[in-house]
Structure formats: structure tokens, C-alpha cells
Amino acid sequence: MASTTRNRKPLVSNASGTHSSGSDSDAGGVSQFDPQVNEQLATEIQRERWFRVRKIPSKITRSIGPVALCLLCLWSVLIYTNHYGPLGYWAAFISRSTDYRKRFTETGFAHKLRLDSPALNRYSLWRGVVVISVSTSFTYISIALLALRHELFHWKPEMLEKYLRDAKASFLGRLVPESWLNYLFNIYESGHAKRTRDRIQGRDHRATDDHHELAQVVRCVLRNLLVSTLVVFVMWMALLQTGFESHDIVNVPRSFVPPVQILSWHLIGDTFYFFPHYVAHTPRGSQGIHHKVLPSFVADRLGSFLRNAHKTHHRSKANLAIAAWYCSVTEQVLFNLFPTMLGPVLTQLIADKTDHTKTWGTHLITLYVWLLAGTATSVLAHTGFRTSWNDPGKHDEHHEYAFGTHAVNFGTAGFWDTVLGTKGVKSVEGAKKWQQQRQRQAALHIASQRTGIPLTREQELVVEQPMVDYEWVDKRVEE
Ligand SMILES: [Zn+2]
Ligand SMILES: [Zn+2]
């Protein structure tokens, strides 16, 4: 996208006549500074072929979605490149990872805890639990911190300053050179005004104002990351029961297998996430689909159990990336982990029972890619701003109407939301409008560069976000 604020200078250079990149602007003295010239030119630029071509990449990310794109990239890197000798990243990863494991088992720490025992080898705990837990936790933490920094830098610079001051004054902060802390807290230099308009909601999460709240969110998320490690262990043990290790993991799966598997895992995940989530959002006293298939007292009990489990996550109406897994342990296991891990276990089980393990069994490479992409999507959906990598406000809409009668977007893949008519339209319309406004803005900046006429403040602020400023706490949750 074109740079924003730097184009103010030509006002002077135009007057002195040193600068004439656009010949149209030299026509008359008044029109040189007429903002309408930029408006007209921007309309023409939007029709130009190269301008449309430049928009294709962001259109692709937005329509394919971040999960599919992460998966595609990782596949091409890990699976397809494996056929080209020097690019065998998967084999290299396995041998490097095995080296690390060897070095770890030789340490005194591993020896004391008997982690070097040959009896543990057949469980492949390193490959199946350590690598998965470390890489998913790292993905969660790094995206969440980047998004938090982004949030503070662009929307709450005064809070970033405050955190920087606090960090410098803290015990740990005094051990770190001041310039390092300055660098860590100020990676971006410009683009502030441009980024401000990526925000979907008008309100702030309390954690960005109140460090007690932030500490609570962080504690809860760390606990849930530990819980996830335990659940990964259970999933791995389940996979081992099926002879998962029987095939050679360095051999990559056939190229058509991962897409088919991931599609089915996506559907299984959507099903097992959608229904409990839908039940949790059915307001007390009203009838949902579950009342049609279950005796009413069971449906009511189930409703209040799931609603209670899901309460913590919906304490906030405003989204914040780091709070993606801010939820009860029950929710973490039942909503976030179980639906994601069920697919890989099921496909392996079916392949095993039907003697197709070699081709259709769950492969470690696909499992890694799937779990990493799942974690990344979960955090991205909670960032609360529009980017090409984010679901464009779908989950913000879900938090907005959480427990009301207009509650929408309960699924992950959108399959059941489409079938049962619970898909929100506001986020889709909002994303379309935002995209159009963004393109207009880009065209205006190019027009300004060509004519040398600076943009007016209104032209710079083409992108408007709907202002919604309710209280951030959802009162319906706190009854
Ligand atoms: Zn929910
Ligand atoms: Zn959420």
C-alpha cells in the first residue's frame, strides 16, 4: 500500500517548480491544490489493470482464509520440496530435532528424571508431545504479543509508554540494557494513522488499561497452555494405540492425502465445536435445536453446564489476541482442544481398522501443520482488527452479540453456520466496505503522488470504522 503521511511535502516543491511528476497538475494555478483533481484521478486509477492486479494477493488471503493459506505454505515447504533433493526440509527437520533430543537425554537433568530411559523411546514423547506443545505455545505467544504491541502502539501509545516505564523500573528490566527495551517496545516507526483504521471495534479490552486484568488474562492463558500439553499427551497416547509409529515418518505422505484429510478434519472440528458452542449461547429459558432432540430437562441441564463453561471467555465484548484462550479449563478441553484433535485420531483409527495406514493414516507432518494452523487461527480471530490474515470481523460479531437473541457465528469453518442460518452478515458487509474503502484510499495516495497535490484530511481518512462503544464487559454473563 502507498505510504501515507509523507506526501504532504510537495506543497512547497510544487510552488518552486522543482517537482512535476504529473503534467495534469500544471494546468492552472488553482487546480494545483484542488483536492477534486485527486478524487477524479483516483477513480481512473481504480479502473487501471495494474491497480487491480496489485490487489489480487490480499483478495486471495481474504477469500481462502488464513488456515488454508498457512497449510498451503507449509505443505509446499515440507511435502512438495521434499522431492527436490537439497530442499528436503522435512527430513532435515526430523534429523535436527532428533539431534536435540539426543543432546537433551544426555544432560544430568534428563538422567535424574529418568527421561533417558530406553523404555520411553517407544512413546516418542519428544516428537509427539514436546515438539507439538513447544511449537503451538510459541505460535500462540508470539502472535499474541505482536498483536498486543500493535494494539498498544497504534491505539494506546500512552499505555505502551507506561508499560515501557514499568518494564525499565522492574527487577528484570534493570538487568536488560535500556536500548534493548526501547527497541523491543518500538519496532514500528510509522503508519500509525493507517493502522488505526484496521480496528474492527470501537471499544478497548480492559486488559489494555488495567494491568491487574492483563495479569489475570496471562495467568489464565498460561494455565490453559499447560492443560493443552496434557491433552496433547492424551491425543498422542491414543494415536500410539493404533500403530501410528508403524510407518516411516521421514517419508512424506502422497500429495493428495493431506488436503483430503485436512478438509475432513475441518468438518469434524466444525461439527464438534459448533454444537456445544451453539448450546452454550442459547439464552436461558429459550429453546434451541438441542431441545428438539433431547428430553427438555437434559437439554436445560446441558445448556446451563455449557453456558457456565463458556462464561469466562465472553466476559469481554472487545477482542484481544492474547485473550483467545482466556477461558475455563472445561472450555479449553471441550471447545478448543477436543474438536481439533478428534479429526487426526479418527482418520488414523479408520485407516488402521481398514488396513490403509500406509496411505491414509495420519502423518506427523500433517498433524503438525494442522495443530499450528489451528492455534494461529484461534489467536488471529481474536486480534480485533482487519488484516488480510484475519477473519474479517466474524468473531468480533460473535463477541458483540454473544448471549443475545442475535447471537451469530458459532462455528470455525462456517459449514454449520451456513446450514443452520446462524451466519452473521454484518461482518461480511463490513469487511467488503472496508476493503472498498482501503482500495479507494490506496488510489487516492497514488493520485496524490502523480499530481503532487497533497491529500486533505478527509481524503486521508477515507476508511471509517463503525463506532461501537458499549461497556466492554458483557453484563449478561455476570448474572
Ligand atoms: Zn462464544
Ligand atoms: Zn472468542
Distance 324 CA to ligand 2 centre (A): 6
Band the pLDDT of 13: cuts 50, 70, 90: very low
pLDDT at site 167: 86
Query: Is the dihedral angle over the CA atoms 444, 445, 451, 456 positive or is it negative?
Result: positive
pLDDT at site 39: 87
Which region among 181-190, 213-222, 305-314, 395-404 has the lowest average model confidence (pLDDT)? 181-190
Query: Is the dihedral angle over the CA atoms 31, 32, 34, 38 positive or is it negative?
Result: positive
Ligand nearest to the CA of 317: 2
pLDDT at site 24: 42
Distance 150 CA to ligand 1 centre (A): 25
CB 357 within 8 A of CB 243: yes
Distance 193 CA to ligand 1 centre (A): 31
Distance 329 CA to ligand 1 centre (A): 15
What burial letters (b/e) apply to 143-178, b meaning 16+ CB within 10 Å?
bbeebbbbbbbbbeeebbeebbeeeeeeeeeeeeee
For residues 362-375, average pLDDT: 90
Listed by start position, the domains of the chain span 1-22+29-54+425-479, 124-423
Ligand nearest to the CA of 276: 1
3-state helix, strand, coil in the chain (%, to 5): 70, 0, 30
Ligand nearest to the CA of 311: 1
Distance 92 CA to ligand 2 centre (A): 37
Query: Is the dihedral angle over the CA atoms 169, 172, 178, 181 positive or is it negative?
Result: negative
For residues 258-279, average pLDDT: 92
Distance 460 CA to ligand 2 centre (A): 32
Distance 30 CA to ligand 2 centre (A): 53
Q: Please say if the pLDDT value at position 26 is more than 70.
A: no
Question: Cell digits for 137?
Answer: 505455545
Distance 284 CA to ligand 1 centre (A): 15
The predicted-structure confidence for 404-450, as pLDDT tens digits, reads as follows: 777 888 888 888 988 988 888 877 777 777 777 778 888 888 998 88
pLDDT at site 252: 80
Which region among 139-143, 161-165, 378-382 has the lowest average model confidence (pLDDT)? 161-165
Distance 225 CA to ligand 2 centre (A): 16
Q: Please say if the pLDDT value at position 14 is more than 50.
A: no
Q: Please say if the pLDDT value at position 256 is more than 90.
A: no
pLDDT at site 10: 32
Q: Please say if the pLDDT value at position 108 is more than 80.
A: yes
DSSP string, 283-310: PTTS--HHHHHS-HHHHHHHHHHHHHHH
Distance 383 CA to ligand 2 centre (A): 10
Question: Cell digits for 389?
Answer: 490474515
Distance 410 CA to ligand 1 centre (A): 7
Ligand nearest to the CA of 383: 2
Instruction: Say how far apart CA 202 and CA 196 lie, in whole Å.
Output: 11
Query: Hunting for cell 509427539 — which residue is that?
Result: 128
Distance 38 CA to ligand 1 centre (A): 45
pLDDT at site 274: 94
The predicted-structure confidence for 48-58, as pLDDT tens digits, reads as follows: 898 888 877 77
The predicted-structure confidence for 452-475, as pLDDT tens digits, reads as follows: 888 887 777 765 554 444 444 445
Distance 406 CA to ligand 1 centre (A): 13
CB 126 within 8 A of CB 97: yes
CB 410 within 8 A of CB 274: yes
pLDDT at site 16: 34
Distance 85 CA to ligand 2 centre (A): 43
Distance 422 CA to ligand 1 centre (A): 13
Distance 371 CA to ligand 1 centre (A): 21
Distance 220 CA to ligand 2 centre (A): 14
Ligand nearest to the CA of 335: 1
Instruction: Say how far apart CA 477 and CA 314 lie, in whole Å.
Output: 7
Ligand nearest to the CA of 381: 2
Ligand nearest to the CA of 477: 1
Q: 475 versus 111: which is more confidently predicted?
A: 111
Distance 314 CA to ligand 1 centre (A): 6
Distance 402 CA to ligand 1 centre (A): 6
Distance 438 CA to ligand 2 centre (A): 26
Ligand nearest to the CA of 326: 2
Distance 76 CA to ligand 2 centre (A): 30
